[in-house]
């Protein structure tokens, strides 16, 4: 195997590994907003935000409202 081909495979493998790591972290949540919104509704049921939030900080807001939908 030539040296250039070897470098190409190493670089291509690195790019593939980075892309594979970004998919579940970044791309999947962006394309499945409804699923994440439903999970947060269930997780935050019965939680009084004012009791949990430290004094002087803004109370939690829905991160999905700013998505333009």
- Residue 60's domain spans which residues? 3-67
Segment 49-65 shows an average pLDDT of 74
Q: pLDDT tens across 7-36, in order?
A: 999 999 999 999 999 999 888 988 988 898
For residue 66, the model assigns a pLDDT of: 60
Residue with the bigger pLDDT between 6 and 53: it is: 6
For residues 21 and 15, give the distance between their C-alpha atoms in angstroms, rounded to a whole number.
10
For residue 2, the model assigns a pLDDT of: 83
Residue 16 backbone phi and psi in degrees, to 5: -65, -40
- Number of domains making up the chain: 1
């Amino acid at each position: 195997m030539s040296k250039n081909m070897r470098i190409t495979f190493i670089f291509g493998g690195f790019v593939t590994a980075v892309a594979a790591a970004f998919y579940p972290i970044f791309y999947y949540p962006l394309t499945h907003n409804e699923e994440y919104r439903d999970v947060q509704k269930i997780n935050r049921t019965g939680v009084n935000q004012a009791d949990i939030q430290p004094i002087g900080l803004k109370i939690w807001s829905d991160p999905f409202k700013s998505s333009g939908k």
